[in-house]
Amino acid sequence: GKGHSIDEFVLYYLARATGRPVRAVMRYADELQMSATRHGGTIALRTGVDREGKFVAHSARVVFDGGAYAAGKPVATLMPGEAMVTLAGYHLPNVRVEAMTVYTNQIPAGHSRAPGQPQNVFAAESHVDLIARELGLDPLELRERNAIRGGEIDVEGDVWHDSTAHEVLATLRREARWDAARGRGHGRGIALGARPSGRGKSAIALRLDREGRVEVLTAVADQGGGQHTLFQRIVAAELGIPLDRITVRRGTTENTPRDAGIGGSRVTPVQGGAALEAARKLKAKLDEVAPGAPFAEAARRAAPLEIVAEHTSDANVNAVYAYALEVEVDRDTGHLRVLDAVLVADVGTVINPVAARGQLEGGFIFGLGQALMEELRVEDGRVTTTNLGDYKLPTIADAPPLRIVLLTDSPGPGPFGAKSVGELSNPGVGAAVANAVHDACGARVFSLPVTAEKVFKELHP
């Protein structure tokens, strides 16, 4: 994650007030007690189903715990909107959703990878599994009967012009060997979800010198997600020049177009779109100055040259994903272990294969922590998990084999048809784990994380 960026504004005002440099130094206890946590909440769902196992009506009431201090959040009103995504990826002809975020005397809640979605997907996909068992249907088959198709409306009332949900589920059935027999104490769980690509406006500047080198000036930082490599690849592909001829630099407010920053899966469709538009404008200028000339010759004639381009993306395009996880549960202790995981994701055109898979793998581990161990305990208004001995984080020892299958035929709103993937892979892990545990031993856990203690209590009430 990118941390709690609101801290930067506090430091800014302190520095302005004192006229001195100000630095924040936090211990783990400070970070766990003061920085924004993910919103806790209560989610109640009801779904009407006909005799064929088709969803005909859906009702949801979502109450998120916002903690204190709305000013400590990037967008205080975001969470009620995120609550609308219960049962994303399904066709729902009749829907009623009531969603709210309430003030409490708890830690101020903020935004983390895919705000609101891990909570909603956990509730919704656990709910779908319970419906399947009530109807005596295979959980994957129930999802296949209700997955949204092109031309149908989703939970928010939006029409999906294209949908890969059925292709995703069919691929998952095959890759996860869903119909194969399982051993004693083993269970398999599934989760289906969808995440829209980011929207908004951005701008990027390109500078060309007489040596044919291109400098990309952006307000976007590369925080480890490969953002600058993405811009480099987009510009190189459009101009038809080697990657080593392109340098990406984060500029200042003096020499770089402004941007709202990283967040909301905006980088590829919005900021990447600005990079592509700038490269196209540069290419057109070179063709105007030196028609038909090679890039190096055109650069010598046209340089020095600076191009600034803006791009706005407001396309409502979703990326669909599905997980299948296998777990082993010890009925005597409640201990569980994730043995295998398969992720099928509809990602459109893949611009940087290594970075795309890295984002999906990292998101899976992120989700695994939320699913199995990460828990901020509060007693009498005080945080009791004040160090990483109490607040457990997943390590490589906790990671099962993960197979990722990318579907690339459905184009997205990003450059060359790309879709956003950074917040795609963590929301579904918790639901897949809970569903697999239920399949393995009959214990249904209704809150995250799914710990051995909770499983044991369900098995031995």
Q: How does pLDDT run across 391-439, given as a tens digit for each residue?
A: 999 999 999 999 999 999 999 999 999 999 999 999 999 999 999 999 9
Q: Tell me what percent of the residues of the chain surpass a pLDDT of 90.
A: 70
Q: pLDDT digit string (tens) for 362-398?
A: 999 999 999 999 999 888 878 899 998 999 999 999 9
* Domain topology for 200-313: Aldehyde Oxidoreductase; domain 4 (3.30.365)
User: Which H/E stretch holds residue 364?
Assistant: helix 353-372
- CA-to-CA dists, residue 427 to 4, 62, 148, angstroms: 20, 17, 19
Task: Report residue 438 as tokens.
Answer: 């239920």
CATH topology for the 36-197+316-459 domain: Aldehyde Oxidoreductase; domain 4 (3.30.365)
Average pLDDT score over the chain:
91
Task: Identify the band that residue 114 occupies on the pLDDT scale cut at 50, 70 and 90.
Answer: confident
Write out pLDDT tens, residues 317-327. 889 999 999 99
Q: Which of 87, 171, 94 is nearest to 129 (CA)?
A: 87
Quick check: 414 and 269 in contact, CB under 8 A? yes
Give the pLDDT confidence of 174-222 residue by residue, as tens digits.
999 999 998 899 999 999 999 988 889 999 999 999 999 999 999 998 8
Dist. CA 29–CA 178, nearest whole Å? 43
Place 119 in a pLDDT band, splitting at 50, 70 and 90.
Answer: very high
Structural domain spans, the chain: 1-35, 36-197+316-459, 200-313
Fold match, 36-197+316-459 / 200-313: yes
Q: Which long-range contacts (CB under 8 A, 24 or more apart) does 172-181 make?
A: 172/140, 172/322, 172/323, 172/324, 172/342, 172/344, 172/405, 173/140, 175/324, 175/342, 175/344, 175/403, 175/405, 176/324, 176/342, 178/140, 178/324
